[in-house]
């Protein structure tokens, strides 16, 4: 299915190049149809072949290697951001499910936090890089990007886990209470296992959120080494070398897919013994 959908997208792209207006379509003076010339929409094969050619003239380094290295750099940052975000998210959801008053007080702020544009927040967090030290450990510049990744990933994880923890049936909670189980035992042996079907989609969202956060942070803070930086660098060359920027964009997309794939694998593993109709 996945391969088929890719073929379909490629076909649509190339078809639009054939039928679409070269200089864009205008409706009442506003540009509504994108330009279909080779600068705005390079052929798919031009983009693919661009991976095989050197990054800059006279260099031995091919684009695919540069993109791969950039993606690997961003991937590690995303993992750090994701781990950070999921610990914060799960921690908050446990707190909120334990104390109703925390849920009522905190949840609105969490929602508000997600309405702050990442672009506005990024320079602020980036400023901490190299200037802040916590317990004698200096805040490295790359950590700012990871923190912004965590900022985007913790929210869906907190909300999803909170719902999951609350999904344990009342009768099951009553059963645990009849065994005089402690709050912690109920959490570990009942609430978390029943939360897993809710947590997996939340973690998928969180994982792709951390990639977006890291890439946007790289772009807006100019952090070197990652795929975000490649996207702005290549975008500057877009008029002369339009296919190049797409190589970096695909790299970022592949990054997000890899993260989601990691979660999908853990989904299959965690749900292997559950009734089949509840697996997502």
- Which of 169, 183, 224, 236 is the binder for other proteins (CB under 8 A)? 169
Residue 180 found at the interface with other proteins (CB under 8 A): yes
What minimum distance in Å lies between the beta carbon of 194 and other proteins?
8
Nearest to 73 by CA among 253, 261, 214, 209: 214
The pairing of strands 25-27 and 137-138 is unpaired
Residue 193 found at the interface with other proteins (CB under 8 A): yes
Strand-pairing partners, residue 33, are 25
Smaller CB separation from other proteins, 135 or 179: 179
Other Cβ atoms within 10 Å of 146 Cβ, number:
25
- Which of 59, 124, 274, 279 is the binder for other proteins (CB under 8 A)? 274
> What burial letters (b/e) apply to 159-196, b meaning 16+ CB within 10 Å?
bbbbebbeebeeeeeeebeeeebeeeebbeebbbebbb
Smaller CB separation from other proteins, 239 or 273: 273
- Which of 2, 28, 179, 269 is the binder for other proteins (CB under 8 A)? 179
Residue 166 found at the interface with other proteins (CB under 8 A): no
Strand-pairing partners, residue 54, are 62
Smaller CB separation from other proteins, 196 or 212: 196
Decide: 145 and 217 in contact? Cβ < 8 Å.
yes
Binding positions for other proteins, 196-215, rule CB under 8 A: 196
Residues that bind other proteins in the complex, under the rule CB under 8 A:
169, 171-172, 174-181, 185, 189-190, 193, 196, 273-275, 278
């Amino acid at each position: 299915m996945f391969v088929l959908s890719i073929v379909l997208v490629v076909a649509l792209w190339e078809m639009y190049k054939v039928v679409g207006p070269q200089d864009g379509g205008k409706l009442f003076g506003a540009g509504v149809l994108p330009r279909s010339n080779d600068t705005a929409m390079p052929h798919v094969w031009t983009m693919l072949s661009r991976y095989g050619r050197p990054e800059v003239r006279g260099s031995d380094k091919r684009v695919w290697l540069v993109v791969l290295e950039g993606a690997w750099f961003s991937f590690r940052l995303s993992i750090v951001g994701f781990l950070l975000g999921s610990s914060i998210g799960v921690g908050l959801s446990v707190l909120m499910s334990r104390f109703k008053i925390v849920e009522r007080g905190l949840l609105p702020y969490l929602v508000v936090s997600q309405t702050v544009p990442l672009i506005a927040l990024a320079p602020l967090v980036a400023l901490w890089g190299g200037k802040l030290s916590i317990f004698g450990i200096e805040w490295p510049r790359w950590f700012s990007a990871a923190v912004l990744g965590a900022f985007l990933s913790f929210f869906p994880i907190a909300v999803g886990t909170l719902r999951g923890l609350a999904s344990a049936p009342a009768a099951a909670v009553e059963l645990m209470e009849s065994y005089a189980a402690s709050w912690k035992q109920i959490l570990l042996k009942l609430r978390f296992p029943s939360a897993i079907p809710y947590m997996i989609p939340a973690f998928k969202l969180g994982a792709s959120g951390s990639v977006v956060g890291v890439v946007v942070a790289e772009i807006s803070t100019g952090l070197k080494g990652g795929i975000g930086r490649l996207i702005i660098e290549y975008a500057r060359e877009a008029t002369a070398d339009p296919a190049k920027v797409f190589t970096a964009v695909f790299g970022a997309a592949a990054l997000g897919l890899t993260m989601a794939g990691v979660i999908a694998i853990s989904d299959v593993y965690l749900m292997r013994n559950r009734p089949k109709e509840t697996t997502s």
